[in-house]
Amino acid sequence: MSEKSLPATRRTILIGAATAAALPLIAAAGAANAAGTMPKTNVKYQATPKGAQQCSKCNYFLAGKGPNGTNLCKIIAGPIDATGWCTMFAPKPA
């Protein structure tokens, strides 16, 4: 039997591209409540805010989710200050 390969259509290419783009988001959603593993130095974490930007206003902030009620981050390893800041800051959706 000979199989004939069909040319890729625009629709199949777009569906494939959309699926590939969504994979990191799907993977991140599964680990949404897990604390991060990135060292603080890699994201230039500081314990003070940068202007109006601070951890408590960040989408990755996990208030009181650590041991003894410490604050955690979905990206950074270890406890963080609510008034801290790093280069991964992403404002919470309104």
Q: What is the pLDDT of residue 11?
A: 79
Q: How far apart are CA 59 and CA 71, in angstroms?
A: 13
Q: How far apart are CA 55 and CA 32, in angstroms?
A: 16
Q: What is the pLDDT of residue 86?
A: 96
Q: What is the pLDDT of residue 32?
A: 44
Give the tens place of pLDDT for each residue, 7-43. 778 877 878 777 777 666 555 444 445 678 999 999 9
Give the tens place of pLDDT for each residue, 49-68. 999 999 999 999 999 988 88
Q: Per-residue pLDDT for 44 more than 70? A: yes
Domain ranges of the chain: 33-73
Query: In 3D, which of 49, 14, 12, 54 has the Cα closest to residue 63?
Result: 54
